[in-house]
Chain A
């Protein structure tokens, strides 16, 4: 997946986890938590969805990389470069 495809994938996951949020105005460089009502269980949902959909295992120490869209995509890019977006 390209960076743009990874972003689309993360947006898709976020729309499942936070279905009442408007994601159209989400700023890539700003943290998710500043822009959405997300708690620790929601972040675990992101980790779980990546695991289920793409078999990506994210160690707990790396959760910090999921703070914003930019940091998430940067973190996922090497892990998802060989995965095709369906």
Chain B
């Protein structure tokens, strides 16, 4: 049980760096969520043409030279930006830290599609002559690329790798970082999730072929989980990286603490490539509650995964009803309604959007619900307008993905 753990086995969040389609730092992002401001915009991509996406507008050159941006990947640039911002936010003395003891754990939905598509297009301009295939392809497409670019940029010589976990990856990165701290594999973890997926036409074309790509005349209305008129996913890019420390280390240096990871769980459906399984999703949430030593009615906010696909939302709602159906205290929201589906970054970004509620006691809403689907009518659903609460002690963050991967993390106010 985590809650009875000693202080060197308690893991806390001490820094947050993020880029979302509606904000490039936590304060702006939170303000956008409370103001109901969407980050979805018109977008055009090779072969697919005009569509919609959540696009990030952070300054890549804040922490990288132009040469490094050119040589690396978009996911690498997102990772570097978020990691640098998180470390700065943590207040750690970065010059004094032992960088051999820093670990980097970054969740990804996919990596390499963008770079491979770009090269295939490039050689198509040369009659498919592979002699013009770039020598940068392999370092750009190795699966550890985004985490590795962080270590190169920041001079970190501890462990680094990525965690491939479909759209559960943001939570998975966070969990991995916590576990590595508990195992003393590192003393300071840089962990979270990133996505460059809007740069690959394949993800748009794939969702379109699946009948799961959102469309709407008004881009800001396109991502609408739980609404009857929902028609699919808005693909987004983004990143959210946390600095994690042991509670004993964080308090020793007087760090500000955003919250403590008191529970988590990852499970598999083992039933379908694409379709979710509410029984296993519910089991995942229940296991996270059990690890944290909590009951459902102890949780103040559930941050849902719902992506605005017709069936996926209903399946998650079945799972939520199973676990939280009798809880009078639990508020339920959805951040994808603002930012779209940030894939590998989704879990960590959606959690970050909720963390300021520990201070302001407000649960941000699920926007764009004009006509609530009766099958998604959950008790505690916060619709369209943020809701004042009596205080937030625990947040449960869901993130699920293809191949039946489920994750839930629970954060406690400290």
Which residues of A does B touch, CB under 8 Å? 16-20, 37, 41, 44-45, 48, 51-52, 57
Residues of B within 8 A of A18 (CB): 67
Assess whether B135 is in contact with A17, with CB atoms less than 8 Å apart: no
Contact of B132 among A16, A20, A51 (CB under 8 A): A51
* Bound complex: CA A54 to CA B148 (Å): 34
CB 8 Å contact bits of B132-151 with A (1 = contact, 0 = none): 10111000000000000000
Residues of A within 8 A of B136 (CB): 41
Residue of A nearest to B133 (CB): A48
The DSSP consensus for interface residues of chain A is helix
Report B129 CB to chain A, min CB distance, Å.
Answer: 9
Residues of B within 8 A of A41 (CB): 71, 135-136
Report A2 CB to chain B, min CB distance, Å.
Answer: 26
CB 8 Å contact bits of B33-65 with A (1 = contact, 0 = none): 000000000000000000000000000000001
Report B60 CB to chain A, min CB distance, Å.
Answer: 12
Residue of A nearest to B66 (CB): A19
7 A–B contacts from the bound complex (CB under 8 Å): A37-B67, A41-B71, A41-B136, A44-B135, A51-B131, A51-B132, A52-B126
Assess whether A17 is in contact with B67, with CB atoms less than 8 Å apart: yes
Residues of B within 8 A of A45 (CB): 135
Q: Does B70 contact A (CB under 8 A)?
A: yes
Report B410 CB to chain A, min CB distance, Å.
Answer: 44
Residue of B nearest to A52 (CB): B132
* Bound complex: CA A44 to CA B126 (Å): 18
Residues of A within 8 A of B134 (CB): 48
Report A76 CB to chain B, min CB distance, Å.
Answer: 18
Residue of A nearest to B64 (CB): A20
Contact of B65 among A20, A48, A51 (CB under 8 A): A20
* Bound complex: CA A52 to CA B67 (Å): 20
Residue of A nearest to B123 (CB): A52
Residues of A within 8 A of B70 (CB): 16-17, 19
Residue of B nearest to A38 (CB): B67
CB 8 Å contact bits of B109-124 with A (1 = contact, 0 = none): 0000000000000000
Assess whether B67 is in contact with A20, with CB atoms less than 8 Å apart: yes
Given contacts A17-B70, A51-B132, 14 further A-B contacts (CB under 8 A): A18-B67, A19-B65, A19-B67, A20-B65, A20-B66, A20-B67, A37-B67, A41-B71, A41-B135, A41-B136, A44-B135, A48-B135, A51-B131, A52-B126
Report A67 CB to chain B, min CB distance, Å.
Answer: 19
* Bound complex: CA A45 to CA B132 (Å): 10
Contact of A48 among B66, B67, B71, B132 (CB under 8 A): B132
* Bound complex: CA A34 to CA B283 (Å): 61
Report A57 CB to chain B, min CB distance, Å.
Answer: 8
Instruction: Give the interface centre of A17, A18, A20, A45 by most chain B CB atoms within 10 Å.
Output: A20
Residues of B within 8 A of A19 (CB): 65-67, 70
Residues of B within 8 A of A44 (CB): 135
Residues of B within 8 A of A37 (CB): 67
Residues of A within 8 A of B135 (CB): 41, 44-45, 48
Report A38 CB to chain B, min CB distance, Å.
Answer: 10
